[in-house]
Amino acid sequence: MAKVSKNLVSKDTEQFIWKSLLEVFRDVKTNDEVEIILNDLLTPSEKIMLSKRLAIAFLLMRGKSYVEISKKLKVSFATIGLVKSAKLRGGRGYNQLLEAILKNQKLIF
């Protein structure tokens, strides 16, 4: 699990940086540009965590059980539950990503 510093930045700074990041992604034109940004922004572990969360959401959508997902992706039931909870709270972001994955349907699942 990723560790977050206990030394927080101010809410104003956090919101400014977050909105700036959103603007950068909005203005990006190509997949290569997105990849360059994400490769600099995320550590290899963070990329794996993100990929696993999306795979969990996809497998949940496909009706797979916690046991099946846990075995296939090597994740805990707690992690699966967190993804499921996020989807149940609205999960519009997950739903958008899952729709894109379904369009590309090149997954091994």
Model pTM score: 0.75
pLDDT at 106 over 70: no
Q: Are residues 29 and 79 in the same domain?
A: no
**At 8, is the pLDDT very low, low, confident or very high (cuts 50, 70, 90)?**
confident
- Asked if pLDDT for residue 109 goes beyond 60, the answer is no
Are residues 17 and 35 part of one domain?
A: yes
Q: Are residues 69 and 107 in the same domain?
A: yes
Distance from the first to the final alpha carbon of the chain: 24
Kindly tell me the sign of the dihedral angle through the C-alpha atoms of 8, 40, 105, 26: positive
Distance separating alpha carbons of residues 16 and 108, to the nearest angstrom: 39
Residue 30: which domain range? 10-41
Q: CA 11 to CA 70: how far, in whole Å? A: 36
**pLDDT at position 56:** 93
Could you tell me if residue 2 is inside a domain?
no
Q: Cα(75)–Cα(64) distance, rounded to whole angstroms?
A: 14
- Total tally of structural domains belonging to the chain: 2
